[in-house]
Amino acid sequence: MERILVIEDDRAVQRALRRLLEGEGYSVDFAADGNSGVAMFHTAAPSAIVLDLRLPGMSGRDVCRQIKKEAPATPVIVLSAATDVMDKVLLLELGADDYVTKPFSPRELLARLHAVMRRSVRGSETKDVFSFDDVVVNSTRMEVTKGGSPVTLTAQEFRTLKFFLENAERVVSREELLKQVWGYQESISTRTIDNHILKLRQKLETEPAKPVHFHTVHGIGYKFVP
């Protein structure tokens, strides 16, 4: 089930959005201020974000800036008052994907949300930024963050991770990993592959001893689940 993160402090608007989005089959998380919204985003990466412009604490502009810096591919729709024209322009410059003016039409919001999510899915085939849970991977820059903090990977660990990201939900044998990631180097054994998976679990799983992303498929190899 796709999950939407709503960062909005107005309880009446929260209730309206819950009815609207859950009625469309989405799972919905709510945050009532900017700092909580960013923290919730780090806890589990949503499919899309609906962001109020005027928030207590961290402003909507700063929330948008931080989220788009960490996860450029995550769709963000801004809710703004009609008087916030300049702020809307600024948010689009910061990377927001679209905006809806308050008071908003439920049909318009859903249409815009569906549109930005479709664009995100179409772009995922060639995107260079991947995310799962609170992990963000920029394959072009070879940068990885977890919870917003940098994670240091060796070049081979990064290549292994990138291969898993590009082959998510598919069981991959150790022999395929040897061929595709290591190129069947004579000095490399399947034990080396196991050690690299162990390192990825230690660096990227919340509970390395109970992995939820890097699964062992006994007798075959591994399966990555975002």
CATH superfamily of 3-123: Response regulator (3.40.50.2300)
Give the residue ranges of DSSP H helices in the chain: 11-23, 34-43, 60-70, 85-94, 106-123, 155-166, 174-177, 190-204
pLDDT in tens, 36-63: 999 999 887 788 999 998 899 898 889 9
Ranked by mean pLDDT, the top range of 17-31, 75-89, 100-114, 123-137 is: 17-31
pTM of the model: 0.55
Domain spanning 129-224: CATH 3.30.930.10: no
Give the residue ranges of DSSP H helices in 101-225: 106-123, 155-166, 174-177, 190-204
* Residue ranges of the chain that CATH labels 1.10.10.10: 129-224
Ranked by mean pLDDT, the top range of 71-80, 92-101, 111-120, 151-160 is: 151-160
CA angle 182, 146, 79 (to 5 degrees): 125
- Is the pLDDT reported for residue 187 higher than 60? no
Share of residues in the chain with pLDDT > 90 (%) = 38
pLDDT in tens, 63-96: 988 888 877 778 899 888 755 555 556 666 667 8
Q: Are 115 and 48 in contact (CB under 8 A)?
A: no
82-86, 113-117, 137-141, 168-172: range with lowest mean pLDDT? 82-86
Whole-number pLDDT of residue 181: 83
Phi and psi at residue 66, to the nearest 5°: -70, -45
Q: How far apart are CA 158 and CA 216, in angstroms?
A: 19
Phi and psi at residue 117, to the nearest 5°: -70, -35
Mean pLDDT of 26-32: 93
* Residue ranges of the chain that CATH labels 3.40.50.2300: 3-123
